[in-house]
A = this chain, B = another copy of it.
């Protein structure tokens, strides 16, 4: 029995990751929930009213519980020291025939407002990335019986989450797509990059709260192996990017289906934070320029219009093609239901839940 089942009556030991940027449509989240997994709205970068809309649309599609993923840091930020990078990026803008960038950048992620929406809408699970929510926000969420799932990339982060009162922790392996969840980028400029099987094992050895394995997982044999190791559940992102219900644009989908296991790298060029993406022209040229990316979230804001044009004009080379190392095994679009079946097919889910229950030792039934 996984803690997801125990606390939330989620049938499968599987979380659809809360990827930000319009990927996790209400249709995707609801489909994951209907199939018995924990669907997640990726609410990073999202406005509070958009989040409210999305939550209400998911509720129209399913009455199962689902999660909202938030960035656990206050992204309010302002910078006007952006000259060299902005100038370099204007080269891309000229080619894309879009307007040049401004002289300053301002960002606000409206974390408190989004927590307010979560409570108003009676969301049962909040997952977070990049840090630990403030004790004020944790208290508000816990008073309202919200289950809290944090993300850690190294033992020290996991301990911070446990100490702060989180209910479970996602071990984000080096293999994972998108942003490294690393809390302190000054300490780990390239991300704290531990292979998933080492990290998951270490967190299980040292924490008392449940551990969820994430990063590069794309099939049932891997899921079974991590449950066997003692993980409470697994979280999958990249594979859901090609779900028919996902908001992934067509050029991005094609790039995912063409990529192989060695096609991705961890780079700061898109956002200023290390993140795993498919190597494309934007990555190569910005890295080749040797102009250092600005800090997160400034760099993210600065590249937003270029990435937006990449989406609109279907140019994969000008987008952030987030992908985990499992991308090499993804060759076709599928329904969320088929993806979930391929991860925790009928005889897997039974064995899996048992396996989670008795600490990695299966009783052999159903296998």
Mind listing 18 A-B residue pairs with CB under 8 Å? A155-B261, A155-B328, A175-B195, A175-B198, A195-B197, A195-B216, A197-B216, A197-B222, A197-B225, A197-B226, A198-B261, A198-B324, A201-B218, A201-B221, A202-B261, A202-B329, A361-B367, A364-B365
CA distance A226 to B228 in the complex (A): 9
Give A205's nearest chain B residue, CB to CB. Answer: B329
Q: Are A222 and B216 in contact (CB under 8 A)?
A: no
For residue A91, CB closer than 8 A to chain B, the reply is no
Report how far A156 CA is from B225 CA in the complex, Å.
Answer: 24
- A326 sits at the interface (CB 8 A): yes
Main SS at interface, chain A: loop
Q: Is A199 close to B, CB under 8 A?
A: yes
Q: Is A21 an interface residue (CB 8 A)?
A: no
Q: In this assembly, does A260 line the interface, its C-beta being within 8 Å of a C-beta of chain B? A: yes
Question: A222 is contacted by which of B175, B201, B363 (Cβ under 8 Å)?
Answer: B201
A195 near B174 with CB under 8 A, answer yes
* Binary contact track A203-242/B, C-beta < 8 Å → 1, others 0: 0110000000001111101101110111000000000000
Give chain B residues whose Cβ lies under 8 Å from the Cβ of A230.
Answer: 221
Q: Is A65 an interface residue (CB 8 A)?
A: no
Query: Size range of the interface on A?
Result: 35 or more
Chain A residues close to B by CB (< 8 Å): 154-156, 173-175, 188, 192-199, 201-202, 204-205, 215-219, 221-222, 224-226, 228-230, 260-262, 324-326, 328-329, 360-365, 367
Tell me the number of copies of this protein: 2
B155 with A260: CB separation less than 8 A: yes
Asked if A326 and B221 make an inter-chain contact with CB atoms under 8 angstroms apart, the answer reads no
Residues in B with CB closer than 8 Å to A224 are: 228-229, 360
For A193, the chain B residues whose CB sits under 8 A away are: 174
Whether A328 pairs with B202 at a CB distance below 8 angstroms is: yes
**How far does the Cβ of A260 sit from chain B's closest Cβ, in whole Å?**
7
A364 to B364, CA, bound (A): 4
Q: What CA separation (Å) do A355 and B274 show in the bound complex?
A: 38
CA distance A215 to B197 in the complex (A): 9
Q: How far is the CA of A199 from the CA of B193 in the complex (A)?
A: 16
A261 x B221 contact (CB < 8 A): no
Which of A202, A226, A361, A362 has the largest count of B CB atoms less than 10 A from its CB?
Answer: A202
Given A222-B229, A261-B154, A362-B362, A196:B197 Cβ within 8 A: yes
The smallest beta-carbon distance between A158 and chain B, in angstroms, is 11
Q: Are B173 and A360 in contact (CB under 8 A)?
A: no
Which residues of chain B are near A216, meaning CB under 8 Å? 195, 197-198
**Among the listed B156, B217, B229, B324, which residue makes an inter-chain contact with A221, where contact means beta carbons less than 8 Å apart?**
B229
